[in-house]
Chains A and B, each alone.
Chain A
Amino acid sequence: MPNELIRLHDVSVGYEGRAVLNHLGFAVEEGEFLALLGPNGAGKTTLLRGLLGLLPVLGGRIEYHFDRAATPPGYVPQRETLDPIFPLTALEVVLMGTYARLRPLRHAGRRERTRAAECLGQVGLDAVAARPFWSLSGGQKQRVLIARALASEPRLLLLDEPTAGVDPGAAAVIMDVLFRLNRDQALTAVLVTHQIRLVRPLAQAVIWVDGGTAIKGPTAEMLAPERILDVFGAPATG
């Protein structure tokens, strides 16, 4: 049986004491490529934020089978949540990932800079290290944020709609990067997405979020055409 990284026991999560999702009970296994899918407003991002510890658990409990302080999950937010007023190069953004292991008064040195440059290389963006982060295309920014998540040397990547708002070519490149990280480094990846077509060939399992709860199952079963038709009223086109 594969190692579990996270196990949820009848968990409820939500905002300001009001549960959005209830009775969550599934596990995220090591090396898994997992897609978090569901209709708009169903609570996909809420579940992701709950797994990250950004939202309080209102009921039940979440077991983390890794040391979250020593090896925090690699978090890739939606790039629109970051403010372009900050003057930062791509390398400076990636360096932030190394802050996870740096104590106060210790600053990023040669080791951290080398690590950050390697991570940029892993997402195919060595050449843009010195460029202003905000001058990059949407897809490049998203890959820089993936590099930042890798810089914290995580066992688990949690991504919030990494392909939202980027053109189909850039979305395919992002998915390819994630697939290679999962395959070559056995890095566990959980991503929120609307683009069923993009994840269908890559995801080993799907967590379907709908109706105030979420269930996990194999991709083929969870993304069966009749199920998609039932939920969306149309075949998957995303």
Chain B
Amino acid sequence: MDTLVEILRPEFILRDALVGSVLVGAVCPLVGVYFVLRRMIFLGVALPQLSAAGIAFAFVAYRLVVGPHEHGNVNERSLAMAGAVAFTLGGILVLAALERRGRETVEARIGVTYAVAAALTVLFLVADPHGDAQMVNLLKGDILATTSASLGVLAWAFGAVVVVLFAFRKEFLLVSFDRDLAVVFRKRVGLWDLLLYLAIGVTISLGVMTAGPLVTFGFLVVPPLTARLVTRRMLSFSLTAAGLGATAAFAGFYCAYRFDLPLGPTEVALASLALGAVTSATMIGQWMASPRSAT
């Protein structure tokens, strides 16, 4: 209880990290809802890795064109952001285009994307002799290193993503659920896809920079899968996923601080625990309701 009171105090030393963590936990599932509905879950693995490759590429490109960059300043974060968004958005647009025209399976394309992105990340890091622990932290996402400035950027960008997702939820639902009907209604299907992908790209890029690929993927996928088991409507699906993600992030932060555990894995483990519990409860409920259980 003392720990809970401590982390809720305004002067708590890791307050920015706690708020950042909860923001990632709440907003990633809102985007992840569309990953689940469009059956693009494995993109949630590939895109954060692509984002990491983008960050590494930005540093290498900067060194080659301008010169060595200074660690820890605002420009470094902007550079990382530009690389992450460019690679994530580029990747998602190419994969979306191939989905309509390509002949290989979706899994093959996503698998190749992940492998290439992971390899490029390492190669870009090796190519930058100034790459040190701080850059590696930025790449893998270190929530505890969140500063007031980076939290401000995160809050504004995620705020914009939430506004876009809710303001245009009617359009996103229509193009996701029945693309043909959207075309018959003469909606700008490509434009709505692009806007959704942009929201996804920004969320993943900032999520990776703040919390790393593992946590970003975990929150993109696990809370929406849990919420899908207990909701019957689109709006409640999105809100429940966001609520579950934020709760898992807060509880994960508490456990990590209280028991001195690594933060990201603790958060993802708690979110997965909730998925396991809800899945079990749903299966038991279905079994109890089935005619066979009555005999």
Contacts and interface: CB of A to CB of B under 8 A. Distances in A.
B234 A96 contact: no
Interface string A60-82: 00000000110011010100011
B186 A72 contact: yes
A81 B228 CA distance: 20
Contact of B186 (A69, A81, A108): A69
Interface string B136-170: 00000000000000000000000000000001111
B173 interface: yes
A2 to B, nearest CB: 24
A232 to B, nearest CB: 30
B9 interface: no
A155 to B, nearest CB: 13
A140 interface: no
Contacts, number: 74
**Residue of A53, A73, A100 contacting most chain B CB atoms (<10 Å):** A100
Interface residues of B, number: 27
B39 interface: yes
A152 B187 CA distance: 14
Interface string A115-137: 00000000000000000100000
A105 B168 CA distance: 6
B232 interface: yes
Contact of B234 (A73, A81, A87): A87
Contacts of A87: 228, 231-234, 236-237
Contacts of A54: 180, 183-184
Contacts of A72: 184-186
Given A86-B37, A99-B174, A104-B168, A73 B233 contact: no
Secondary structure at the A interface, as helix, strand, loop or mixed, is loop
A114 B143 CA distance: 48
Interface in B175-197: 176-178, 180-181, 183-187
Contacts of B234: 86-88, 92
B149 to A, nearest CB: 32
B185 A100 contact: yes
A132 B228 CA distance: 13
A104 B183 CA distance: 15
Contacts of A73: 184
A96 B37 contact: no
Contact of B233 (A49, A68, A77, A89): A89
Contact of A108 (B37, B168, B170, B231): B170
Contact of A102 (B170, B180, B183, B186): B170
Given A54-B180, A89-B232, 7 more contacts: A54-B183, A69-B186, A83-B39, A86-B234, A99-B170, A102-B170, A107-B169
18 contacts: A52-B184, A53-B183, A72-B184, A72-B185, A77-B180, A81-B178, A83-B39, A85-B39, A85-B228, A86-B173, A87-B228, A87-B231, A88-B233, A89-B233, A96-B174, A96-B177, A104-B167, A132-B232
